[in-house]
Amino acid sequence: MKSLTSIIALVLVLISCDYTNHKLILINQSSQPISYRESSDTILTTKNLAEYYLRIQIQPNDSVRAPILGKNGWDSLVVHSVNRKLNLFVFQVDTIKKYRDMQYVISKRLYRRYEYSLDYLNKHNWRVVIE
């Protein structure tokens, strides 16, 4: 019984050890606060509310290390995307605040889409500059 308890404890510890990859660095060199969303598709769909995007703001002349689950999360996203690139959708925070409806923002394409190949990302050490 003691060994069963030990095995269960070990499994619970291993399950709780999710690895988050932060190698993608997004640098905001625009004059406005921005928010972003990555996707494996070139067409953006979302079920997230405006509040989600408002929580992940990047201020002008600032940067963030974007998190993704999995040791090779970013590489995997690129390799398995429809165009084999990182698809990055960038929103101006003012636009999100103005409309507060992401379905509207997306349907009217009030965002910029960037795409980066794995070669580009590796060559630039996973640093992406948004201007």
Q: Is residue 11 part of a domain?
A: no
d(CA 67, CA 20): 6
Q: Is residue 121 part of a domain?
A: yes
Q: Is residue 2 part of a domain?
A: no
d(CA 112, CA 90): 5
Task: Please state whether the predicted TM-score (pTM) of the whole model is above 0.85.
Answer: no
CA atoms within 13 A on the CB side of 4: 1
Q: Is residue 10 part of a domain?
A: no
Kindly tell me the sign of the dihedral angle through the C-alpha atoms of 29, 34, 39, 44: negative
Q: Structural domain of residue 99, as residue ranges? A: 19-130
pLDDT digits 0-9 by tens, 10-61: 555 545 555 788 999 999 999 999 999 999 999 998 778 999 999 999 999 9
Q: Is residue 6 part of a domain?
A: no
Structural domain tally of the chain?
1
